[in-house]
Structure 1
């Protein structure tokens, strides 16, 4: 197991303020029109896969503040085994989140895309894909710079 220093490496956004502003705009555009609960589930799941403590902390807090049930937050990493705790639509979005985040064998499987396309009209599916891409970008920034959550 690789060990690494703890604590932030740099205040990335202080050194890249134009990029930060663009990321905020991208994030706003990506989530436009999507159900707030679905957005947080997607953001939490991608952040789990990317081991991004900062984003996990933020989006778990956001989900709870929006009234998300504790069991849905706690079981999200095992959503496939959680029965009907998540709707079929949410399951399709979570499966797509995993496929895009991990890019197994370098692509998103047709079955995963088709399942999502059944549950989301094309415009909404484009928004879900944009949301997944955006949270992955935030995760990579936070993980690379070792941004730490404000726990407490």
Structure 2
């Protein structure tokens, strides 16, 4: 999972977007450890605090997030939740509009990896605060 996470993040080529995606999935999955970790990393990278504060309500946040970021966040939610058993075609198409085939594969790999990490850390009841940069 570490190798997948690193390769996907590097291949996506947008460290800020990668952190936003990992934070959003971790919010949905209620993974306090991963939230603590990725919020810390995002702040260290200089991500605007307002963007972090409003991430849970990104759809209502107006133009605080770009169309590309909104497409990635919608895909993150669809892959994370899978309530209908699949990613809706319109969500996939919106993401494919903003990411070439390689970057889309890396984005999906990143979403898959953080969901795996969330499930591992929540299942093991790993508390926040243990991450050190």
TM-score bucket of the superposed structures, by smaller chain: over 0.9
How do 1:85-104 residues align onto structure 2 when only pairs under 5 Å count? 85-104=64-83
What are the ranges of 5 or more consecutive residues in structure 2 without an aligned counterpart?
none
What are the ranges of 5 or more consecutive residues in structure 1 without an aligned counterpart?
1-22
CA root-mean-square deviation: 0.9
Aligned residue number for residue 59 of structure 2: 80
How do 1:3-152 residues align onto structure 2 when only pairs under 5 Å count? 23-34=1-12, 35-150=14-129
Rounded to whole Å, the distance in 1 between the matches of 2:82 and 2:10 is: 25
1:21-79 deviations in whole A, cap 9, x for unaligned?
xx211211121232000000000000000000000000000000000000000000000
| Pair member with larger Rg | 1
Rounded to whole Å, the distance in 1 between the matches of 2:83 and 2:95 is: 17
Rounded to whole Å, the distance in 1 between the matches of 2:40 and 2:24 is: 14
Rounded to whole Å, the distance in 1 between the matches of 2:95 and 2:119 is: 24
Deviates further, 29-38 or 45-54:
29-38
Rounded to whole Å, the distance in 2 between the matches of 1:33 and 1:129 is: 11
- Secondary structure, aligned partner of 1:67: coil
Rounded to whole Å, the distance in 2 between the matches of 1:113 and 1:104 is: 15
